[in-house]
Amino acid sequence: GLKICAKDMQKINKQIVFNVIAPNATQIFKGAFENWTHLQFVYAPRLNVIQPNAFKFCYNLRELVGNSLVEVGLESFYNCYNFRKINVLNVQRFGYRCFQATQLTSITNTECKKLESQEFINNPVLQILDFENVESFEVSSVYDCSDLRLLRLPHAKNITAQKHQQQIQVTEDSSSAAKKSFGVSKDTKVTKYVALQKGVDKLQIENSVVLNQVMYCTSTPHIKKLLSLKGIVLVKAKQIKRNAFQMCKFLNFAICPEVEEVGYCSFSDCYQLKRFSSNKLQTLKEYSFSQCRILGQINLTKVKTISTQCFDNNVSLINVYMPDCKHLSENCLGRCQILQVVGNFESVDKDGLYECLQKVNVVSSKLQEGDFGSYQVGNQVRFQEILGDEHVERKNLRKMLENKRKRCAVIKNAHYTIKKMSMLRGR
């Protein structure tokens, strides 16, 4: 099978590759796709081995498709902040911190015998760990997984647990050793945090209500009670006050249909915020979404004012469209992974796109084309880049179709011969 190594990838402009299609790859060597920060999807159905650092710092990688994995190496998906789907059912060995800081909500495996190397630490949305044949388990493997509630360890014998992990429980079919270390739970489902109509309906009676860690309110609530919330539904407010949701580090979404202005540091340090919903957003104050590194769903089409460092350290905004914005102010999109900003800009501050990963393409008919240091003004780029190896599957399909065509021809000829013989006999 095909083996992919870092040397093979050196000649490729990794910043514009969003998808990798490798139907015959069986191994991905050390660091092969490290720092491919815009890579989003990998298709590798025959992949067996992922070596250390293979996808390290692939901030936008969301899914790897493949059902043949047996080994995942050290730090192979380290800080893949958006990574949420992979089949590790048959993996026999997980390396040190191989899935640190991802978006995986549950992990199921039937082959691994021990978890002792901080394999899944710092996964804030991981809820369920199901390891059929693990015999040795250290709770440090899931350190700082704040949402982890349930373990399934039916064959665990040696367990190293800590008292502060009291929120973690095990399934009823887990081993006696597991039950001694953790409480027992009957709940085996992943909790989904979504906005519900019944929460909005209750606002006819109350000013605010919390259902399943989602708060529904008519105006900006007091921050001290919100730090563990997963979602915010702000119904009537047109402005979000300064520091309103700062440091709500577990917040996944904010639905604010009437909001026109987001204030100073309103969502600063909301590390898990993925979606902000408002079709009326016009003004973003300083640091409004600073450190919201996985915020990728936000409508900026009506934004007129974008202030200093409002998206500081965001790794998920890649192609930004702001037709109503006339000026990109100092460091407004600095330290981001953005590749392109499209709008009707009349001016761009010389430090407006400061310290972005690579030169940002600014598209505006009102600006002079050229290279301006941290950015360039040019034509709009359409991002649809795919990297693939030999298309053996396609060749096999063509071969199969050709064989069918030949068989059909033989059957057709045989049918014609039989028909002709019948006619001769009839004479």
Burial level of 304, CB count in 10 A (0-12/13-18/19+)? Answer: middle
- The residue range of the domain holding 11 is 2-184
Q: Does residue 175 belong to any structural domain of this protein?
A: yes
CA distances from 276 to 293, 295, 359 (A): 13, 8, 26
Span between the terminal Cα atoms of the chain, in Å: 61
Instruction: Give the global pTM.
Output: 0.85
Query: Is there a contact between 182 and 170 (Cβ–Cβ < 8 Å)?
Result: yes
Contacts of 406 (CB under 8 A, 6+ apart): none
- pLDDT tens-digit readout, 138-160: 999 999 999 999 999 999 999 98
For residue 163, is pLDDT > 80?
Answer: no
Q: Does residue 28 belong to any structural domain of this protein?
A: yes
For residue 412, is pLDDT > 60?
Answer: no
Which residues, listed in sequence order, are joined to residue 210 by a DSSP beta bridge?
Answer: 215
Mean pLDDT along residues 21-27: 95
Q: Does residue 344 belong to any structural domain of this protein?
A: no
- Which residue is associated with the tokens 């037709």? 323
Distance CA 263, CA 307 (A): 10
Query: Is there a contact between 311 and 290 (Cβ–Cβ < 8 Å)?
Result: yes
Contacts of 401 (CB under 8 A, 6+ apart): none
Give percent above pLDDT 70 in the chain: 87
pLDDT band at 166 (very low <50, low <70, confident <90, very high): low
pLDDT band at 400 (very low <50, low <70, confident <90, very high): low
Chain centroid to CA 135: 31
Q: Does residue 353 belong to any structural domain of this protein?
A: no
Question: Per mean pLDDT, which of 1-15, 51-65, 227-241 is the most reliable?
Answer: 51-65
Q: What CATH number has the domain bearing residue 174?
A: 3.80.10.10
- pLDDT at residue 391, as a whole number: 43
Q: Does residue 21 belong to any structural domain of this protein?
A: yes
* Domain total in the chain: 1
Query: Is there a contact between 265 and 240 (Cβ–Cβ < 8 Å)?
Result: no
Q: The sheet that has 136-138: what strands, in order across it?
A: 114-115, 136-138, 158-160
Mean pLDDT along residues 118-133: 96
Q: Does residue 174 belong to any structural domain of this protein?
A: yes
**What tokens were used for 101?**
């800081």
CA distances from 235 to 8, 216, 254, 280 (A): 52, 7, 11, 13
- Closest of 327, 286, 326, 329 to residue 309, by C-alpha: 286
Residue type at position 45: P
- pLDDT tens-digit readout, 317-335: 999 999 999 999 888 888 8
Q: Does residue 12 belong to any structural domain of this protein?
A: yes
Query: Is there a contact between 53 and 31 (Cβ–Cβ < 8 Å)?
Result: yes
Q: Does residue 280 belong to any structural domain of this protein?
A: no
Where would I find the H helices in 31-133? Answer: none
- pLDDT tens-digit readout, 282-294: 999 999 999 999 9
Query: Is there a contact between 281 and 259 (Cβ–Cβ < 8 Å)?
Result: yes
Distance CA 389, CA 396 (A): 15
